[in-house]
Structure 1
Amino acid sequence: FAQKCFTSISRKESPSGVSILRWYLKSLQKQFLACWIRRSSHLTGLSSTYIASPLCRCGNHDKDSLDLVVSKISLLGDGQIGKTSFLTKYCGRENGLEEFGMTEANLVDKTLCVKGAHISYSIWEVGGNNNIPAACKDSVAMLFMFDLACWCTLNSVIPWFQQAKKWNQTAIPVITGTKFDDFVQLDLQWTITSQTRAYAKALNAIVFFSSATYNVNVNKIFKFITAKLFNLPWNLERNLNVGEPIIDL
């Protein structure tokens, strides 16, 4: 699905002027992100305490643990869009990733505690077509990911969705934009946001814009999935303001 990305630059501006403007905009966005994170309200209902577990296969969990629920989540999208950084940010460590299948997929397990029950997520990061069947079968949620700074990766969401749906018709679909901290081109923010929301409406999916660098919406995505799966009360507000990390339910 990988395609070549093109970035348009106005002919009315000199290259040096464009570089200075982009540097200035990115500096402003970093300040905005810092402020946005500080003022982000604490959502209630679902415990925010996560317990990272050692890497283990689903079948290796203690079978006598009656309060352990094991579920699988798949991360799908083109290469070099930030899936591994996203997964590393959520799991909290790089050595939790296990590569297999000619480096076209990564697997990591993470256990969290919710209201006294332990939930173990087996998270598959997929970068190649060969591992789509194994990754998608029995998944409770599938994240269709794209790079906010590279428009063509958004266009790949539809083919990824079509391939995944061949193997799983019931998983919760989440369209996830990565690298929000690089999403600084004002002329593209409205276009990409509108197109993403249109895709989500057509696919009956949820939208999150995220940043692994600043941990924006990374944990919220998994909290949303957990609340949805286990019918837990959790107040998650939509954010449709262009230029901010979008959440469209």
Structure 2
Amino acid sequence: MENVQQIKVTLIGDTQVGKTCIQTRYIYEKFDNTTISTTGGQFRKKFVFVNQKQVQINIWDTAGQERFRALSELYYRSASAIILVYDVTRMETFSNLKYWIGELRAKGDKNAVIVMVGNKIDAAERVVSKAQAAQFAAEEKVFYKEASALSGEGVTELFHFIVEQLQTSQITEKNEELIEKSKSWCC
């Protein structure tokens, strides 16, 4: 698979926030309301073209139950990007983002792109406002997006945003390397 950029994306967050449904919606372009809680981790991949480049997105869906949290580290430790999911209809899942961000900062890749995602925006009983979530994301210095695995709103855009962020950071890193090399050549 020459010239195929590979990225590892890991979905983390509390149980039943819709991580598996987001993954399923993105991979299969459908909503599956028969999903059961993930145990351990689940892997799927998808090939896409973003900015005229073929990209293989390797998506790891992790269990949100407390008894599996130690295993989650295995999946996000080497991830290029983390999708940190919470349910906009359940305040406790939003409150628990502090825990997840702490885990990522302590044990994850320092260069990983972190995107906080409010899922279930199609639901009428929303309790976490967009403004509240956006403020929290800004304070934590993570990206913020919203999505609905049920309707599909924002799901494809989420993954394409991540790929674009990673492509931009790779370009920046290459430019910084060239600048450093040119400094050593000229002086």
TM range (shorter): 0.7 to 0.9
Runs of 4+ in 1 over 4 A off after TM superposition: none
Structure of greater Rg: 1
2:110 match: 169
Unaligned runs of 5+ in 1: 1-64, 95-101, 233-249
The alpha carbon displacement at 1:184 in A equals 3.4
Among candidates 76, 81, 84, match of residue 144 of structure 1: 84
Whether the 8 Å contact between 1:74 and 1:136 is mirrored in structure 2 is: yes
1:90 aligns with 2:31: no
Among candidates 123, 130, 135, match of residue 198 of structure 1: 135
AA aligned opposite 1:194: A
SS for the counterpart of 2:80 is strand
The CA RMSD measured in Å over matched residues stands at 2.0
Tell me whether 155-164 or 127-136 shows the greater mean CA deviation.
127-136
Unaligned runs of 5+ in 2: 31-37, 170-187
Q: 1:168 to 1:183 in 2, by over 3 A?
A: farther
SS for the counterpart of 1:146 is strand
1:219 match: 156
Whether the 8 Å contact between 2:39 and 2:62 is mirrored in structure 1 is: no
2:14 match: 78
Q: 2-side partners of 1:183 and 1:77: how far apart?
A: 22
Q: 2-side partners of 1:218 and 1:116: how far apart?
A: 20
Deviations 1:82-117 (A, max 9, x none): 1111110000178xxxxxxx8232111111123553
Question: Would you say how many aligned residue pairs link Structure 1 and Structure 2?
Answer: 157
Q: 1:195 to 1:115 in 2, by over 3 A?
A: closer
Among candidates 119, 130, 139, match of residue 178 of structure 1: 119
Deviations 1:171-218 (A, max 9, x none): 111110111111435xx45xx333312221122111111101111110
Tell me whether 132-141 or 78-87 shows the greater mean CA deviation.
132-141
1:66 aligns with 2:2: yes
SS for the counterpart of 2:132 is helix
